[in-house]
């Protein structure tokens, strides 16, 4: 059954952008129901929980499965912020789409996370994710700074810590 437009989950993807492009992407992946189970913010630092260490391991393994380079990332209590560069796959002669990489990360990490918490078959991650194509060096620097400072912002203003003001 099709939902009316007012009830459809909105996608923020650029309509004509090639998400296999060899460029940088800013990705945010949230836990289901924004459950704060990945880290605890103490003294401006995100201190990982056991589940957070599982997420870190799976994120760091992304380049073993996809032609991608990881940049800065932070595992917050209920979400992950990361910069990812998609690269050309010399073996297969193709580049994976961003959604393929994120879907794989979410699927395989959720299996391990659910096993660790004794909740097999339950949702761990929020259904979708946020992404932004990083368009230039200035924006890349700004996103890196945002990710690095995110734990401090978490403590200062938890309600609006995920807002970034982008320069045009």
pLDDT single digits (tens) 79-106: 999 999 999 877 767 788 999 999 999 9
Looking at residue 89, what is its pLDDT? 79
- The two structure tokens encoding residue 124: 């761990």
Write down the domain spans for the chain. 19-156
- The pLDDT score that the predictor gives to residue 20 is 84
Output the pLDDT for position 158: 60
Provide the residue-wise pLDDT of the chain in tens; the chain has 168 residues. Answer: 454 444 444 456 667 777 888 899 999 999 999 999 999 999 999 999 999 999 999 999 999 999 999 999 999 999 999 999 999 877 767 788 999 999 999 999 999 999 999 998 899 999 999 999 999 999 999 999 999 999 999 877 664 444 445 443
pTM of the model: 0.85
CATH number assigned to the domain covering 19-156: 3.30.70.1290
Q: According to the model, what pLDDT value does residue 29 have?
A: 97
pLDDT at 165: 52
Closest of 12, 25, 11, 10 to residue 95, by C-alpha: 25
DSSP letter at 86 equals E
Instruction: Extract long-range pairs of 50-58: CB within 8 Å, 24+ residues apart.
Output: 50/116, 51/113, 51/116, 51/117, 54/109, 54/112, 54/113, 54/116, 55/80, 55/109, 55/113, 58/105, 58/108, 58/109, 58/112
């Amino acid at each position: 059954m099709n939902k009316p437009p007012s009830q459809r989950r909105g996608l923020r993807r650029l309509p004509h952008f090639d998400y296999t492009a060899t460029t940088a992407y800013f990705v945010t992946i949230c836990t289901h129901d924004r459950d704060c189970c990945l880290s605890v913010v103490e003294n401006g630092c995100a201190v990982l929980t056991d589940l957070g260490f599982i997420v870190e391991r799976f994120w760091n393994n992304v380049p073993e499965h996809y032609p991608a380079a990881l940049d800065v990332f932070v595992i917050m209590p209920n979400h992950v912020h990361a910069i990812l560069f998609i690269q050309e796959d010399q073996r297969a002669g193709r580049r994976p789409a961003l959604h393929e990489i994120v879907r794989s990360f979410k699927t395989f990490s959720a299996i391990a996370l659910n096993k660790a918490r004794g909740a097999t078959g339950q949702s761990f991650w929020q259904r979708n994710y946020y992404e932004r194509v990083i368009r230039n060096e200035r924006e890349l620097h700004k996103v890196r700074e945002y990710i690095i400072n995110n734990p401090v912002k978490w403590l200062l203003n938890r309600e609006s810590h995920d807002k970034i003001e982008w320069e045009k």
